[in-house]
Amino acid sequence: MDATRRLESERPAPGFPGTSGGPRARRPQVAASARRYGAAAGFSLVALFALAASVSAQSAEPAQPEAMAGAGAQAWRIVAVDGGAVSGGPEIRFSPDGGLTGGTGCNRFQARARMAAGQLVIDGPVAVTRMACPGMLDAQERSILGVLEDRIDIGFDPLTGTLRLSNRGVTLDLRAGPAPSGPAEAPGPALRPAPGAAADYVSVFGLEGRLNIRAEATTGAKVLTEVAPGTLLRNLDCREAGGRRWCEVEMLDGSRLRGWAAAEYLEPAGAALRAGQEVFDAIGHLPCAQGAAADPAPCEFGVARDAGGSAAVVVIRPDGTRRALFFQDGGFLGADTSQADGYPATGARRDGDRTVVSVGDERYEVADAVVFGG
């Protein structure tokens, strides 16, 4: 296996927190508003949202021009989940061709939708990027994605300009206009190698406080340090001791401190999570172009891999900013687009032993060896 590489940075790459596959927080149950919403029967998908955007222009909170444009994607920000406040600027965008895209406040998603018998119908699975969501953002994401399945009841309140999506006991309230963009992030440093052999990694989860790292595999041993949920650790070994499973872990903060942690508070750290914290299985250069007419030039990259052709490739662009590309089963899955860069369209094509990925007018040539290793 390739030597492990890590960005020498004091904080993760901006806007790219990673992912994990462990248990998620329980969905918050907040009482929904008692307002009666009008049914949406008889409308096509385009007509429904064009009407809603138009009516909202007469409400106390007018629709923004983008939402009023019938020819393009209409942006709706999610303002409440089950009547409760939201974080991270979640939104949904509806396109005239039936495309549905958006963000949960953490991950991006896309799907196909249509109107049928007064309901919004999601055709097929919703594709979602796989980044880890901290705390309440995780519960919020589960609620939003739980609504966006199968057949969704839909209604519109003309008094407030609020669109309501209801499914499986959960409601989403939306208002016309895109979610506000967050503050600009400063670009991180360039990729640099770090010593150490590749190993399995785990992430701390499942507790509100901090996890004790002990000198021995027992609760009576000295506490060497404490780590917060979401901390990435190198997993050296696990064993049973005193009726409990313990894992020997190593800190990745430069101290290389080793100790033992209770295994029930550790979960495997997937490729996207490792890449988000700048822990890579390999680094190198790949051809990239930053403009429709630009010639390819070498760009630095780091890659974190999982089995079966799943990988997260983080490319350092010439201006020092990053672009994350996600692969699953060897094929391109998506990129870390955002409202700040206008959610550019993404695509991919095969060219020999490489995948040529397009993100707007950006191009990246990713060899199979980058994704699979070797």
Task: Give the phi and the psi of residue 125 in degrees, each rounded to 5.
Answer: -75, 155
The ranges of the chain annotated as CATH 2.30.30.40 are 190-269
Tally Cβ neighbours within 10 Å of residue 256.
11
Q: State the Cα–Cα distance between residues 229 and 239, nearest whole angstrom.
A: 22
Give domain 190-269's CATH number out of 3.40.30.10, 2.30.30.40, 3.40.47.10, 3.50.50.60.
2.30.30.40
Would you say residue 224 has pLDDT above 80? Answer: yes
Predicted confidence at residue 194, as pLDDT, reads: 32
Residue type, 15: G
Per CATH, domain 38-176 is 2.40.128.270: yes
Tell whether the model's pLDDT for residue 286 goes beyond 70: yes
The whole-number pLDDT of residue 24 equals 30
Does 13 or 117 have the greater pLDDT score?
Answer: 117
Q: Identify the weakest region by mean pLDDT among 62-71, 165-174, 219-228.
A: 62-71
Q: Does residue 122 register a pLDDT over 80? A: yes
Model confidence at 106, pLDDT cuts 50, 70, 90, reads confident
- 366 — pLDDT class (breaks 50, 70, 90): very high
Q: Are 288 and 300 in contact (CB under 8 A)?
A: no
Portions of the chain given CATH number 2.40.128.270: 38-176
Residue 85 identity (one-letter amino acid)? A
- Going by pLDDT thresholds of 50, 70 and 90, the confidence category of residue 291 is confident
Mean pLDDT, rounded, of the chain: 76
HEC profile of 79-105:
EEECCECCCCCCEEEECCCCEEEEECC
The overall pTM is greater than 0.75? no
- Token reading at 306: 């999982």
374 band by pLDDT with thresholds 50, 70 and 90: confident
pLDDT at residue 132 in the model:
66
pLDDT at 244 over 60: yes
Least confident range from 18-32, 52-66, 101-115, 217-231: namely 18-32
Q: pLDDT band for position 73 (50/70/90)?
A: low
DSSP annotation of 181:
P
Instruction: For the chain, give the percent of residues with pLDDT over 70.
Output: 73
> Do you know the residue count of the chain?
374
Residues pairing with 246 in the sheet: 239, 262
Confidence class for position 95, pLDDT limits 50, 70, 90:
confident
Average the pLDDT over each of 244-253, 265-274, 291-300 and give the range with the smallest value: 265-274
Section 181-202 average pLDDT: 40
